[in-house]
């Protein structure tokens, strides 16, 4: 997983493990931070922009009830409900496609002046309360009311730097500069609770991302109406993999991507900023997790909204990756220590890590909105190139992900794919360049919400006649050091749509890659 060296630029007692017991039914129409230091950057001005130890380089459920039948829930665009104001593209909520690059060496995505203004534009479209956030997710995000209600964020309602052993203490240590953010989100009460301790209507044990969108009103709709949040902390993944495991990876990934993108877009349409969080490295599905984290990265970069790379931070810990003995849920040392940010807690326990990096992300939001910071970093890197054979988009490091609309491409396919049995490609094309400095096993995935209007190919040169691998959604393999091109092609002259494109390195021992 030492990606950076291989690429160059051209819980709590009683917390149950939740796993579906019934095989799923495929959805209709389916065929089957400154990278390198430490999350322990205590400064508020740049909290969270650095990593604990360089990350992977050192790593060597409200209730719609619709998932109880074991079926995969696809909260597709048609399910968006009355609160869906159309796609962010229609609402003017996305930046130009050549936006900031969310590189894999950061835990928290960059916020320069352009992104900061983009976030303000999103909020201006809604009526979210400044001191309110909602939780959206499964058991790793769910909670009961009060400071003792769960390991994720509830503990921030505890005693700051308390010393009573049995109490719920918040021990910030080197992160004392984050205390104003804790206090800020305590100021707005929602009933008897605040954002830290409130029970979200959009979290539920054992649920997938599709559950949050299902029904009218959906759990997500009900949560937005009840809390009026400005922010939403979103994380799904473990159950999404588990429910869909018997089916081909591309099918599983497509359902997850469509649901996660629809959650994101529904939030954006309501003027709510999603803080998208990558899932932990679940032991039971270890080899597939990079695919799911790559999808989330692509959505965050494509919509230019905050990304919290929880997966990266837990991988940096090494086995057991801050997880409990079930290999799924993060751990805390004890029921009341989940907000302890000492070196030992942060090197061993996944909930402590998640609580810290989520607090740091919320602190960055407070700086942008309450402290009127014009931006938190200098201008962040943009994606180089224009997608043409003469100037391909440059994938400077892995993992890589973005959203892009193929219909906006000015480049067209020239010639035919030389791979055996490849269909004709005659429409819009985007070309990416990737340089490998060592043999690398990777997956490249293109998902378009089930439209099936485009094809992904790996080429040894910029021409389609240099085809090495091609597929409708997924290509993978081990490739020698060298320069490669990844081509995304429409299957017809007028085809194409917005796609989610991700390239991730396979984990050692992944026999499917």
What pLDDT is stored for residue 18 in this prediction? 55
Instruction: Name the pTM for this structure.
Output: 0.85
Q: What is the DSSP letter of 68?
A: T
- Is residue 161 within 8 Å of residue 172, measured between CB atoms? yes
What pLDDT is stored for residue 492 in this prediction? 83
Strand order from edge to edge, sheet including 229-235: 129-137, 229-235, 273-277, 307-308
* Phi and psi torsions of 274, nearest 5°: -80, 135
d(CA 329, CA 232): 21
Residue 180: in which H helix or E strand, if any?
helix 179-184
What pLDDT is stored for residue 426 in this prediction? 86
Residue 395: in which H helix or E strand, if any?
strand 393-395
Per-residue pLDDT 10s for the chain (513 aa) are: 333 333 333 333 333 335 544 333 333 333 333 333 344 444 333 333 333 232 222 322 233 333 322 334 444 433 333 333 334 444 445 554 447 899 999 999 999 999 999 999 999 999 999 999 999 999 999 999 999 999 999 999 999 999 898 999 999 999 999 999 999 999 999 999 999 999 999 999 999 999 999 999 999 999 999 999 999 999 999 999 988 777 899 999 999 999 999 999 999 999 999 999 999 999 999 999 999 999 999 999 999 999 999 999 999 999 999 999 999 999 999 999 999 999 999 999 999 999 999 999 999 999 999 999 999 998 888 999 999 999 999 999 999 999 999 999 999 998 899 999 898 898 999 999 999 999 999 999 999 988 888 999 999 999 999 999 999 999 999 999 999 999 999 988 877 789 999 999 999 989 888
Would you call 130 exposed, middle or buried from its count of C-beta atoms within 10 A (0-12, 13-18, 19+)?
middle
* Phi and psi torsions of 315, nearest 5°: -60, -35
- Is residue 240 within 8 Å of residue 174, measured between CB atoms? no
Whole-angstrom Cα Rg for the chain? 22
What pLDDT is stored for residue 244 in this prediction? 77
Collapsed DSSP state (helix, strand, coil) of residue 495: coil
Collapsed DSSP state (helix, strand, coil) of residue 112: coil
Task: Copy the structure tokens of residue 299.
Answer: 């959505």
What pLDDT is stored for residue 295 in this prediction? 98
């Amino acid at each position: 997983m030492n990606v950076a060296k291989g690429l160059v630029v051209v819980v709590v007692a009683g917390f149950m493990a939740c796993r579906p017991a019934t095989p799923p039914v495929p959805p209709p129409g389916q065929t089957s931070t400154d990278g390198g230091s430490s999350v322990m950057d205590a400064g508020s001005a740049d909290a969270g922009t650095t990593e604990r130890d360089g990350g992977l380089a050192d790593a060597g459920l409200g209730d719609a009830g619709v998932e109880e039948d074991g079926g995969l829930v696809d909260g597709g665009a048609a399910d968006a409900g009355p609160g869906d104001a159309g796609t962010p593209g229609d609402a003017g909520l996305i930046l130009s496609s050549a936006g900031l690059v969310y590189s894999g060496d950061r835990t928290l995505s960059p916020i320069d002046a352009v992104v900061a203004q983009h976030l303000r534009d999103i909020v201006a479209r809604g009526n979210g309360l400044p001191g309110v956030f909602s939780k959206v997710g499964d058991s790793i995000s769910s909670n009961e009311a009060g400071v003792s209600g769960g390991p994720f964020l509830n503990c921030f309602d505890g005693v700051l730097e308390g010393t009573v052993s049995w109490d719920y203490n918040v021990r910030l240590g080197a992160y004392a500069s984050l205390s104003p953010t804790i206090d800020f989100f305590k100021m707005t009460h929602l009933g008897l609770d605040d954002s830290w301790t409130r029970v979200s209507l959009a979290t539920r044990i054992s649920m997938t991302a599709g559950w949050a969108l299902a029904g009218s009103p959906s759990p997500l709709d009900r949560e937005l109406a009840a809390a009026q949040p400005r922010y939403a902390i979103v994380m799904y993944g473990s159950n999404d993999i588990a429910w869909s495991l018997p089916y081909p990876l591309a099918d599983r990934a497509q359902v997850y991507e469509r649901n996660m993108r629809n959650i994101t877009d529904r939030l954006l349409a309501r003027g709510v900023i999603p803080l998208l969080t990558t899932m932990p490295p679940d032991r039971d599905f270890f080899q597939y997790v990079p695919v799911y984290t790559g999808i989330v990265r692509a959505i965050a970069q494509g919509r230019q909204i905050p990304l919290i790379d929880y997966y990266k931070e837990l991988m940096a810990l090494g086995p057991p990756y801050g997880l409990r003995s079930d290999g799924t849920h993060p751990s805390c040392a004890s029921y009341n220590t989940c907000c302890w940010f000492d070196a030992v807690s942060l090197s061993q326990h996944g909930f402590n890590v998640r609580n810290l990096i989520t607090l740091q992300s919320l602190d960055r939001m407070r700086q942008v909105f309450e402290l009127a910071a014009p931006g938190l970093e200098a201008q962040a890197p943009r994606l180089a190139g224009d997608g043409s054979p003469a100037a391909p988009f440059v994938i400077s490091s892995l993992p890589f992900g973005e959203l892009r609309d193929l219909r906006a491409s000015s480049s067209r396919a020239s010639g035919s794919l030389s791979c055996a049995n490849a269909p004709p490609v005659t429409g819009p094309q985007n070309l990416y360049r990737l340089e490998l400095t060592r043999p690398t096993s990777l997956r490249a995935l293109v998902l378009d919400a089930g439209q099936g209007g485009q094809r992904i190919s790996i080429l040894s040169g910029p021409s389609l006649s240099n085809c090495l691998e091609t597929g409708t959604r997924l290509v993978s393999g081990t490739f020698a050091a060298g320069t490669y091109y990844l081509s995304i092609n429409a299957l017809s002259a007028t085809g194409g749509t917005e796609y989610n494109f991700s390239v991730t390195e396979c984990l050692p021992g992944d026999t499917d890659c």
